[in-house]
Amino acid sequence: SRCTNLTSFNFSGISNIGDYAFAYCKNLPSIKIPGSVDFIGNNTFEECTSLKSVSLSTSLEKIPLGTFSECSSLAKIDIPNSVIEIDDYAFLSCTSLTKVTLPKSLKVIGQNAFQGCASLTEINIPDTIERIGKEAFSLNITEATPGTVLQFAFSNGNVPNIEIGGTGSYYV
């Protein structure tokens, strides 16, 4: 969309947001997606490099492919309890991201979902997780508490301590 001058948007009355709808909106500092929105498309906010504050709809079940990829100013995000899947590359290279709060409803974290999030040092992964994709956290996390982890989910990372479902610590 290349909406470089957009600094705000009112999502009232909208139920879905299409693929790339706000991609490359370099001056958009915050978004507040109301509960009326139950669907957002792929790469919706990709490369919104000024985006610092995000409030997601409590109706979303999925954070799609590349939704916030390369949002380099995004420092924190709370994923609503309605979300059951974070798709591939959803937060790829969000280099300022330091904290992610994941809901107990979450079952899937996709491939490369948090890859390249160099500032992300801690994440609590609920024991409801059924699948974590390849390289989901590569090159970031220093401490994690995941459920079931697939091969290479934390490859090239600095994960010294992993707790799986509160059952004890495992060292890698």
Lookup result for tokens 């959803």: 90
Q: What is the dihedral of CA 91, 65, 3, 75, to 10 degrees?
A: -10
pLDDT tens for each residue of 153-168: 555 554 444 444 544 4
Let me know the angle formed at the C-alpha of 135 by 133 and 139, rounded to the nearest 5 degrees. 145
Assigned token pair, 163: 């707790």
pTM for the model stands at 0.83
- What H or E segment, with its residue span, contains residue 94? none
* Regions of the chain where pLDDT drops below 50: 142-143, 145-152, 158-164, 166-172
d(CA 23, CA 26): 8
Predicted pLDDT of residue 138: 74
pLDDT at 158: 47
- 10 Å CB burial of residue 127 (0-12, 13-18, 19+) is middle
- Please state, in angstroms and rounded to a whole number, the distance separating the CA atoms of residues 5 and 98: 27
How do 161-163 and 169-170 pair as beta strands? antiparallel
- Residue 4 one-letter amino acid: T
Could you tell me which of 33, 34, 38 has the C-alpha nearest to residue 22?
A: 33
| Terminal-to-terminal C-alpha distance of the chain | 43
- H helix and E strand count, the chain: 0, 14
H or E element in which residue 92 lies: none
What would the pLDDT profile of 98-108 be if each residue is shown by its tens digit?
888 899 999 99
